[in-house]
Amino acid sequence: MVRFIFRRLLQVIPVFLGTTLLVYYMVFALPGDPIAALFGDRQPPQSVIDALRAQYNLDQPFWVQYGLFIKNLFTFNLGVDFTQQPIADSLARAFPVTAMLAIEALIIQAVFGIAFGVFAGLKKGKLFDSTVLVVSLLVIAVPTFVLGFVFQLVFGVQLGWAKPTVGANADWGNLILPAVVLGLVSFAYVLRLTRASVSENMNADYVRTATAKGLSRPRVVVAHILRNSLIPVVTYLGANLGGLMGGAIVTEGIFNVPGVGNKLFQAIARSEGPTIVAIVSVLVLVFVITNLLVDLLYAWLDPRIRYDQ
């Protein structure tokens, strides 16, 4: 078990170097001088531009730039972004907001997705099942930005149940609306995965045995059917959490959530290499850790799975 975790963590190093190198190069290869672009039609004296270029190492060849970035990264110095704010500070502001949003969305999709999925799976072919299937298909079919705008307009502007945007007041309550929008699409997938898995396991031998033993229906459903049906669902949710932490650029944009997605969007618009790579670096870590957690969950869900040969 420990060896397994250790081995997985070791894999982070090449993944980390590979992704940062790739992303850094892509930003480097973007056309246009990002410093000159900061000023628009009215350019400051060339000496100001040159000083800024030197500050961000933009006057250096690619390998020097990347090397300096990695060197600074290992001394926990992420540098400053194009607004002269320390990148570490802005990440420290953005990540908790996105984490809150992601967790809220994850809870919504997990709780409702699994609950509806189990009921639909148990009552396969009945009215409830068909309704749920149609509705979930609709949800999958509607793009997030449409859902976002409609929810914002209906619940935020017309009914006034929630503030239309989040802005500076990013707390659990204000994040519900974007979390619902963000969670809805995956909710439909979770529901469908759970339903398929449950309806398949319902006819398994061990379920018949458990029922024959005289176990109560709730116990059969929760301890035998559900637990065995969760493996694909957990895999999906785990991968999804990584994605959610990457910041939902569209959802965060619509609801003006000051999270990672918004930050990333702005950084890309400004060709701000260091910020983009810093965000991506953190995301790599998040992905690796959530995937590791998912793998560890497998053993708990299915004791037959072992990690050390």
Partner 1 sequence: MRFSRTSKALGVAAIIALAATGCGGGGGSNTNSSAATDPNKVISAYSNEPQNPLLPANTNEVYGGRVVELLFEGLRAYDSDGKPVNALAESIETTDSQNWTIKVKPGAKFTNGEAITAKTFVDSWNFAALSTNLQNNGFFFESIEGYADVSAVTETTSADGKKTSTPAPTAQTMSGLAATDDQTITVKLAQPEADWSLRLGYSAFYPLPSEALKDPKKFGENPIGNGPYKFEKEGAWVHDQSISLVKNADYTGPRAAKNGGVTFKFYTDPGPAYTDLQADNLDITDVVPSNALKTYTTDFPDRNSTRPNANNATLNIPGYNPNFQGEAGLLRRQALSHAINREEITKVIFNGTRTPATEFTAPVLDGYNDAIPGSDVLKFDAQKAKDLWAQAEKIKPYDGSKPLLIASNTDGGNKEWIDAVANGFKNNLGIQAEIQPFAKFAEVLDLRKSQSLPGLTRAGWQGDYPSLYNFLGPVWATNASSNYEKYSNPEFDKLLKEGLAAKTPEDANKKFNEAQEILFKDLPGLPLWYRATPIVWSNNVVSAETGWNGGIRYFDIEAK
Dihedral of alpha carbons 105, 166, 262, 172, sign = negative
Task: Name residues whose C-beta falls within 8 Å of residue 72's C-beta, 6 or more positions apart in sequence.
Answer: 78, 79
CB of 140 to partner 1, least distance (A): 9
CB of 200 to partner 1, least distance (A): 24
How far, CA to CA in Å, does 193 sit from each of 109, 183, 232, 291?
12, 15, 7, 19
Task: Check residue 41 for interaction with partner 1 (CB under 8 A).
Answer: yes
Binding of partner 1 by 150 (CB under 8 A): yes
Q: Is residue 256 at the binding interface for partner 1, with CB under 8 A as the rule?
A: yes
- The least CB distance from residue 19 to partner 1, in Å, is 23
Q: Restricting to residues 89-148, name those near partner 1 by CB under 8 A.
A: 89-90, 93-94, 137-138, 141-142, 146-147
Residues 207 and 224 sit within 8 Å (Cβ to Cβ): yes
Residue entry with tokens 């500070």? 89
Tokens in use for 305?
Answer: 């799975």
Q: How far is the CB of 169 from partner 1 (least distance, A)?
A: 9
Handedness of CA 28, 33, 36, 37 (dihedral sign): negative
Stretch that binds partner 1, among 62-70, 163-171, 212-220, 231-239 (CB under 8 A): 163-171
Contact call for residues 91 and 76 (beta carbons, < 8 A): no
Does 152 bind partner 1 (CB under 8 A)? Our answer is: yes
From the list 1, 15, 77, 85, which residue makes contact with partner 1 (rule: CB under 8 A)?
A: 85
Q: C-alpha distances in angstroms, 129 versus 108, 114, 122? A: 20, 13, 9
Phi, psi angles (nearest 5°) of residue 296: -70, -35
Residues contacting partner 1: total by CB under 8 A: 61
Distance between CA atoms of 60 and 248, rounded to whole angstroms? 33
> Per CB under 8 A, does 265 bind partner 1?
yes
Q: Closest CB to partner 1 among 149 and 307?
A: 149
Judged by CB under 8 A, the stretch of 81-89, 194-202, 277-285, 296-304 that binds partner 1 is: 81-89
Instruction: List interacting residues with partner 1 (CB under 8 A).
Output: 30-34, 36-48, 50-51, 54, 59, 82-85, 89-90, 93-94, 137-138, 141-142, 146-147, 149-150, 152-154, 156-158, 160, 163-165, 167-168, 253-256, 258, 262-263, 265-266, 269, 271
